[in-house]
A and B are shown apart, each in its own frame.
Chain A
Amino acid sequence: MIFLSNLVNGISLGSIYAIIALGYTMVYGIAKMLNFAHGDVIMVGAYIAFCALQYWNLPPVLALIVAMLVCTALGITIEGLAYRPLRQAASLAVLITAIGMSYLLQNLALLIWGPNPKSFPATTMMALPTFSLFGGKLNISGVTLVAILANIVIMLVLTTFISRTKVGKAMRCVSEDRGAAELMGINVNRTISTTFAIGSALAAVAGILLCSAYPTLMPTTGSMPGIKAFTAAVFGGIGSIPGAMIGGILLGVIEILGKAYISTELGDAIVFAVLIIVLLFRPTGLLGKPIREKV
């Protein structure tokens, strides 16, 4: 029963990772860059929701919407100001810019909200009961279920969006061959902006879910989950949307089970070790396509 409870918690944490990983994987797939600042967009989303609930006394749904809107705007701004001028630049230069952006967001948050951890009003955000199954032997909190449900819904909507809509098709084109897409009349810049917008809106959702489950909010809150979600995206095969989902959930489950059954201290090490082992056998992740260099 404890195992089952750990498993559910793992899937829930994994769902949050999966939602964050989506942001990484979409941006990577389309703009071919590692957006290290993504983890910090999560943190901003959580702070905005915190302010909406605590200071502006908005209802939870509005808080969610405000956070998503702010993050969307933030994502588009970051892309337009910092990444767009570097579209043709070496990938290392873009990576360093993303790192600079990550520092910028963290330190802005530090200035605005201060260094002391804020306690996220998790119960206000999600006033949900804890579900008891098997006569109280298995307790599942509301947040856990919401995270899993949110992940499923997001995944369904996103997959449909990418495969059915015109914008989605444009995204796939740009991801496959940017030059050819441009020649076909697809507005590459707008498509990349849209990708950042979607990824950042999802980051806001992830931030709220994360802080509802682990209600300590600091300027560095996003960085570790960000890195783990990035790991999850690579794990599943970066650029692949189902890969992000599978990678995220597996990573969450491994982390929780590893901490519970192997060693609490080595939880993170186990997560990263599994990533390394997977990449050794599948060098481009679980669902990644093998790369073959043409000679």
Chain B
Amino acid sequence: MSEKVRRRSDTRMVPVPSHSIVPERDVNDIPVLETRHLGIQFGGLKAVDDFNLTIGRTEIAGLIGPNGAGKTTVFNLLTKVYEPTSGAVLFDGQDLKGMNIVQASKLGLARTFQNIRLFDKMTVEENVRIGLHNQIKYDMFSGVLRLPRYWSQEKKQHARALELLHIFNMENLADEEAGSLPYGAQRRLEIIRALATNPKLLLLDEPAAGMNPRETEELMETIARIRDEFQIAILLIEHDMSLVMGVCEGICVLNFGRVIAKGTADEIQANPAVIEAYLGKARSAAGKEAQA
């Protein structure tokens, strides 16, 4: 590993206009993501309401909250699975209004899924190659007629796929069927596939779910390394507090579809509203560690 994981203590967070904070190093660039009063209503239920978040270009941010708080819904709003009923998403300074999932992906939004969505019947390498779909291109006729362009681009795609698999040291699994991998490896493959789309912002939905503590530790390091190597922003949803507190610079806490706290890990841990949301009113702060 080239660089030690950046700890939250290394980072100074500074306020930006939309009542959010980004790391000091990102403050002079346009934020990669900015949401303004984002909300969605399903029937009478406001699943997400007045959601404001700004993420710096190389920030690792966390989105936490109790089950059913609306975290995944936020991801679905950002990646255009849902069209918001109020507010706006600005990605790289561009309003995503009216766009679809594919357009959002082409702009540089990539994600993983809470319930893993790999192409199970295909090999690991093919999964990554599909992630490279819009990065390494040749048309259908070159493919069917096996023109020189097919061979050169396929070679390039193969090399790039292995390069990406190397992030998690998975090159040796390239020919395995994706569906037959262990759970943790599937999660890692999904991250690689998302990275293959050359994103500016990577959204990870519970990346550590189903991983053992050692795997989680490794994942934490890899997330930081991905940010450093690719110079991208990462927003992750996670229930494993050791991961969130260990790697996230800014954390946003959601409860009942609303933001109840924003800040650095230390600030969040000390925030009474957060403790209440997680533990209920009457509990002592001592129970917090157990919950985490």
Contacts and interface: CB of A to CB of B under 8 A. Distances in A.
A and B touch in the complex (CB under 8 A): yes
A295 B76 CA distance: 8
Contacts, number: 4
Interface in A269-295: 295
A290 to B, nearest CB: 13
Contacts of A295: 72, 76, 81, 113
Chain A residues touching B, range: under 10
Main secondary structure of the interface of A (DSSP, over half): loop
Nearest to A293: B81
Contacts of B72: 295
Nearest to B205: A295
Interface string B32-76: 000000000000000000000000000000000000000010001
A295 B81 CA distance: 8
Contacts of B76: 295
A174 to B, nearest CB: 25
A295 B113 CA distance: 8
B205 to A, nearest CB: 9
Nearest to B101: A295
Interface string A156-190: 00000000000000000000000000000000000
B118 to A, nearest CB: 15
Interface string B81-115: 10000000000000000000000000000000100
Nearest to B76: A295
B71 to A, nearest CB: 12
Nearest to B79: A295
Contacts of B81: 295
A295 to B, nearest CB: 5
B78 to A, nearest CB: 12
Interface in A186-215: none
Contacts of B113: 295
A295 B115 CA distance: 8
Interface string A56-93: 00000000000000000000000000000000000000
A76 B81 CA distance: 44
A4 B76 CA distance: 53
Interface in B160-179: none
B235 to A, nearest CB: 16
A160 B235 CA distance: 53
Nearest to B81: A295
B60 to A, nearest CB: 23
Interface in A241-295: 295
4 contacts: A295-B72, A295-B76, A295-B81, A295-B113
Interface of A: 295
Interface of B: 72, 76, 81, 113
> Closest 4 interchain pairs by CB?
A295-B81, A295-B76, A295-B113, A295-B72
